[in-house]
Structure 1
């Protein structure tokens, strides 16, 4: 449970322990990067908004640069523990979906926000590298973790919880972030390959989510959540809903110059799909918020699971922003702005709790 919550009791001899640095820590990178990406996607332009987005992108990029080598050291120094976490502990294995999502999110921010800081050429190159690595990682996790659940992990569908969605949502993130690179590729085969590849990634992620989401909801109704500190994970259900909405709109934009014959159909589908799915997301947001308020009244402490408040809400920001851009409906503009305020507040709470936990020795300590 320590790797899941990121919290251990503080003792007088507590010290920094790299062995506790699990893949769940990439959730902090995801949650930070999505704030910047959400700021860039908003259909309103306020003074300082893009500067704020650039700051959040920079924080996410720095966090990724720090976390990746730290995780490499962890994997080399604690190979037996890392192997056991992946192969024998399904509660930690699902968090291997976080690293590729973090890479993909930072990569998109590098292109949409970092280009003003480092230049367009370096931004495109870095995004292409992060998207390529992140996509391969996402596909490996989306196939590998379910394979382990089928062949090795001792799991029951009646005990499923929203963290099970993390491995299979990663291809959806790749499908939503890849289209931004299409205009920077040579016209013709290169652009078509990326566009159709992102469509395939969308199919992989969406079908996996459609298969798994009913299992997760059944597990929640049947067994509830196994621990109070898992209550923030309810927000993870928003992730595939908001991300798939974002993806269909990004694909529709990319289809316009690459496959103009498909563009009208893609745009109509994106609008219809987005309205329906985002409506479901807003209903679930009410349910998840009510459950978390109840958990807070019951004394739920801060853990790393609180980062679940950030990225899923951020995907709804980008999804609502895309709907506002394509439909021109002011209601979606207001929804995107309101969700962004919620996202910024959630990030402040999660980041503040993490900083306080690290400073006080309660995180990554033994």
Structure 2
């Protein structure tokens, strides 16, 4: 029986899948956009033909449009379900992924012209600030959060803030870019401390959320790329600190690979994609600016790994959709 808007009863598998369409689906857009931006760096390096990145970004834009369409339909038809996601202690951190997706698409489509991208970027930046303030307000409100709710997914709002300079500097908004970069780095340091406290001194992260560990790689990787935009492209001491922090988190993540690959597939696996893409871009830029051969080789390896990761994620997601395993009620 199809549930109605006001049904207070328990959720059943017979309810429309639209009601359970999760905000975490926007991690797909982040992963695809990251692949597009990494491909752009490979084009600059001469490793692949020019134009491939624009095709990939167009696919990303189509994916965003489709996912956003389903999410808006859910919001209109099942507003209570949407509110429940906003009040979920883990899923609330994924709401900024919506605006992050648009910011990444703007950065990838800059070659189309500033006049086309600028209004979209401005709207996405304003929306991201609003969503970030909403998330932070929820975090510090009277709502009760427990240590078990804290995962690296809480880095997502911080990552979004650090992403603003990627297109913002080019579009002529340096001070706005500095504001968001500063806020993003502040939140990264705060949550880095909290997350490691949780990982070391409290119960292990729930198995279904273990893929979020890879998100540790993203903030310093994106921070490095954003810093280059703000600093005129120079790889200075602070840039090196950010890049090598990212490298260390890659090494930490590699120690957990055996555990991660044994996990059953879920949409949380998409958390693997954007951090790998961010580190690929950071390594490629480090090599471009310094001529470092090791980082150049590392960027090629990371890019190959990224394609493997995306291919696996797409195939498993499509298979899960065919088996009707996506958009089901939890529990």
Does TM, normalized by the shorter one, top 0.5? yes
The question of whether the paired residues in 2 share the 8 Å contact of 1:169 and 1:205 is answered with yes
Structure (1/2) with the larger helix percentage? 1
| Structure 2 residue 238 is matched with structure 1 residue 278 | no
User: 1 CA distance for matches of 2:131 and 2:60?
Assistant: 22
Aligned twin of 2:123: 133
Aligned twin of 1:107: 106
| Structure 2 residue 81 is matched with structure 1 residue 81 | yes
Q: For residues 186-242 of structure 1, give each alpha carbon's deviation from its aligned partner in whole angstroms, at most 9, with x where no partner exists.
A: xxxxx3xx0121111111111111112110111111234432121110111111110
User: 1 CA distance for matches of 2:166 and 2:107?
Assistant: 9
RMSD of the alignment, in Å?
2.1
Unmatched 5+ stretches in structure 1: 1-12, 182-190, 254-265
Match of 1:178 among 155, 168, 187: 168
| Structure 2 residue 252 is matched with structure 1 residue 287 | yes
Match of 1:227 among 185, 198, 206: 206
User: 1 CA distance for matches of 2:75 and 2:242?
Assistant: 38
CA gap of 1:224–1:58, structure 2 versus 1, over 3 A, is farther
Aligned twin of 1:143: 133
Shift of 1:150: 1.2
| Structure 2 residue 34 is matched with structure 1 residue 34 | yes
* Number of residue equivalences: 316
Aligned twin of 2:8: none
Helix, strand or coil for the counterpart of 1:355? helix
Pairing of 1:34-73 with structure 2 (within 5 A): 34-42=34-42, 43-48=44-49, 50-73=50-73
User: 2 CA distance for matches of 1:295 and 1:332?
Assistant: 25
User: 2 CA distance for matches of 1:231 and 1:91?
Assistant: 13
User: 2 CA distance for matches of 1:353 and 1:302?
Assistant: 7
CA gap of 1:202–1:109, structure 2 versus 1, over 3 A, is same
**Given the two structures, how large is their TM-score scaled by the length of structure 1?**
0.80
User: 2 CA distance for matches of 1:29 and 1:248?
Assistant: 23
User: 2 CA distance for matches of 1:326 and 1:56?
Assistant: 25
* Between 346-355 and 51-60, the greater mean CA deviation after superposition: 51-60
Shift of 1:353: 1.1
TM superposition outliers: structure 1 runs of 4+ over 4 Å: 13-16
CA gap of 1:131–1:224, structure 2 versus 1, over 3 A, is farther
The question of whether the paired residues in 2 share the 8 Å contact of 1:104 and 1:131 is answered with yes
User: 1 CA distance for matches of 2:167 and 2:208?
Assistant: 31
Aligned twin of 1:218: 197
User: 1 CA distance for matches of 2:146 and 2:189?
Assistant: 18
CA gap of 1:126–1:344, structure 2 versus 1, over 3 A, is farther
Q: For residues 102-147 of structure 1, give each alpha carbon's deviation from its aligned partner in whole angstroms, at most 9, with x where no partner exists.
A: 11111111224xx3xxxx4xxx344223321221122122222121
Select the structure with the greater relative contact order (CA < 8 A; seq sep ≥ 6). Answer: 1
| Structure 2 residue 304 is matched with structure 1 residue 341 | yes
The question of whether the paired residues in 2 share the 8 Å contact of 1:160 and 1:220 is answered with no
Shift of 1:292: 3.3
**Given the two structures, how large is their TM-score scaled by the length of structure 2?**
0.88
| Structure 2 residue 331 is matched with structure 1 residue 352 | no
User: 1 CA distance for matches of 2:327 and 2:313?
Assistant: 16
CA gap of 1:28–1:217, structure 2 versus 1, over 3 A, is same
Shift of 1:283: 1.9
| Structure 2 residue 278 is matched with structure 1 residue 315 | yes
User: 2 CA distance for matches of 1:147 and 1:47?
Assistant: 44
Shift of 1:159: 5.0
Shift of 1:15: 8.0
